[in-house]
Structure 1
Amino acid sequence: MNPLSILLIGLAMSTDAFAAAVGRGAAMRRPRFRQALRAGLIFGVIEGVTPVIGWLLGTAAARYITVLDHWIAFTVLCLLGLHMIWNGCRPGAQDAPQRHGFWALAATGLGTSIDAMAIGVSLAFLDVHIGVVAVVIGLCTLVMVTIGIMLGRVLGALAGKRAEVAGGVIMIVVGAAILYEHLSGAA
Structure 2
Amino acid sequence: MQEATAHIGQFVTILVMALALGMDAFSLGIGVGMKGIRLRDILKISTVIALFHILMPLLGMFTGHYMSALLGQVATYAAGGLLVLLGLHMIYNSFRGGEQTFDHRSPVGILLFSLGVSMDSFSVGVSLGMFQSDLVLTILSFGFCGGLMSILGLLLGRRVSRNLGDYGEAVGGAILLAFGLLFIF
Q: Give TM-score scaled by structure 1 length.
A: 0.86
Q: Is the 8 A contact 1:55 1:123 kept in 2?
A: yes
Determine helix, strand or coil for the equivalent of 1:61: coil
- Give the alignment partner of residue 56 of structure 1, picking from 37, 49, 62: 62
Alpha-carbon deviation of 1:97?
Answer: 9.9
Q: What amino acid is the match of 1:45?
A: L
How far apart, in 2, do the equivalents of 1:26 and 1:90 lie? 17
The total of aligned residue pairs comes to 176
Using the aligned pairs only, state the percent identity.
27
Q: Which residue identity is paired with 1:80?
A: L
Aligned counterparts of 2:101 and 2:150: Cα–Cα separation in 1: 22
CA drift of 1:63 comes to: 3.2
- When the two structures are superposed, what TM-score results if normalisation uses the length of structure 2? 0.87
Contact 1:123 1:130 in 2 (8 A): no
Can you give the 5+ residue segments of structure 2 that lack an aligned partner in the other structure? 1-8
Deviation at 1:98, TM superposition (A): 8.2
Q: Identify unmatched segments of 5+ residues in structure 1.
A: 181-187
Superposed displacement of residue 12, structure 1:
0.7
Question: Structure 1: which 4+ aligned runs deviate by more than 4 Å?
Answer: none
Q: CA offset at residue 120 of structure 1? A: 0.8
Q: Is the 8 A contact 1:81 1:168 kept in 2?
A: yes
1:74 CA drift (Å): 1.1
RMSD: 1.8
Q: Deviations over 1:140-170 (max 9, x none)?
A: 0111101111100111111111111111101
Matches within 5 A, 1:21-32: 21-28=29-36, 31-32=37-38
Q: What per-residue deviation string (whole Å, max 9, x for no partner) do you get for residues 72-102 of structure 1?
A: 0111000001111111111435xx6983212
Matched with 2:124 is: 119
Q: How does 1:3-152 map to 2 (within 5 A)?
A: 3-28=11-36, 31-92=37-98, 99=103, 100-152=105-157
CA contact (8 A) 1:52 1:134 kept: yes
Deviation sequence 1:50-86 (CA, Å, 0-9, x none): 0111111124323341231221011100000111111
Alignment of 1:167-182 (within 5 A): 167-180=172-185
Other-structure match for 2:3: none
Asked whether the equivalents of residues 33 and 156 of structure 2 are also in contact (C-alpha less than 8 Å), the reply is yes
* CA drift at 1:135: 1.0
